[in-house]
Structure 1
Amino acid sequence: MPLDNQKKVLVERTESILYYAESDLSKDHGAGWIGGNAPQFFDDQDDLIHEGNQKYLFYLSLVHPFKPESMISIFIPEDYEEYLKNNMYPNCSIKVIEHPISTESIKEVFTNPGLKKHTISDGTLSNDQKSMDQSFLIKVGGNPRLIQNEDYYFTNLMEDSFSFLFQVDEDGYPETLVQHDYNYPFGFGSLYIFAMIRATEIKHSVAGFWQFS
């Protein structure tokens, strides 16, 4: 993504980048994938993801929009109650890990049985105000589209110098994504990812909070 676009998306926040879930797996991975197996990078790294008796499931991997050599992968606790009660930074149970580009593993160590693998489309630049009225799977930059617009979600994040990076919105799920007899991981809600954003670098991506309707 050109530097001037990065400025519009993450500094001026007049533009955002939108991604969609596609069921056509005959394409390459596009900008990543949701559902399916975790990246091969996490093979034999159970200790990095699982915590004691708390098992984690793979959610999605997205090629970093401003670091094409990196990906951001998200894992959610297997126990819904765990991340329901720990839903806000600095105690958010959702794991966000930046790592080198990696293909999908053949191992099903972290695979979520409730999600059917879909490709994430390449990102398209959109006017941020217009994006508020569109359906999307992922929205990078601009301003977050919130379900509950409450200041307390942002208090600790702002104190620690985190800014909004992207959100994953379940309103953008295709009907084929969630397997029959399984629930939406975020209760038909949205997950908000934050990072420390500087003029020349973006680092320390974290799960800020998640909300549901």
Structure 2
Amino acid sequence: MASERVPEVTAAGAASAGKAPRTERGRRTLRAILDAAAAEFGEKGFHEGSVSGITRRAGVALGSFYTYFDSKDAVFRALVRDMSDQVRDRVAPVLKAASDQLAAERAGLLEFLEFVRGHKELYRIIDEAEFVDPESFRAHYATTADRITQRLVAAAARGEVRDDVSDVHAWAIMGMNVFLGLRFGVWGDDRPAREIADTIADLLARGLAPGR
């Protein structure tokens, strides 16, 4: 499993408007609040979770929360963006290091499965966003699909994948990965992540048609 690292915070995009931290200490506090919010909402859900529960988990005063966020809704919206960014940042290096696009898709799925197994709250938070903040929910998937589309089109130009790839292929790959993460990351880790990644890499390379 890849080693864990403390995720960075994109200050301008995390805190409420006009409340971005200006010091390293402030950024650490913001990171602690976001991590505590992930634990609070992941365990209790948005409606049962509370600002006071977040501050208790983070070990900060209530006033510190309102230094960076206007409300529970605001921290939830920030958390959805933050978790989406964490997935992106975790997967990006292995995509870049891969020898070709099929290897990149395999490596990306493997890294995603490992991430999900350590952050199972991701699914509850993103799923709740559909009802709590539909704009964030849609942005999470749309931006992910856009990134996949861009890398598939670039790979097609290099001759690594079929030349008619489009956003349809990107959404299909993303949907597959999302449900693989749910089954083999959240619901259980009874199969090695590498075995799953190998199976999907073979599927992408050869499809479902019988061999000739």
Scaled by the length of structure 2, what TM-score is found? 0.28
**Which has the greater radius of gyration?**
2
> As a proportion of its length, which structure holds more strand?
1
Structure with larger RCO (C-alpha < 8 A, sep 6+): 1
> As a proportion of its length, which structure holds more helix?
2
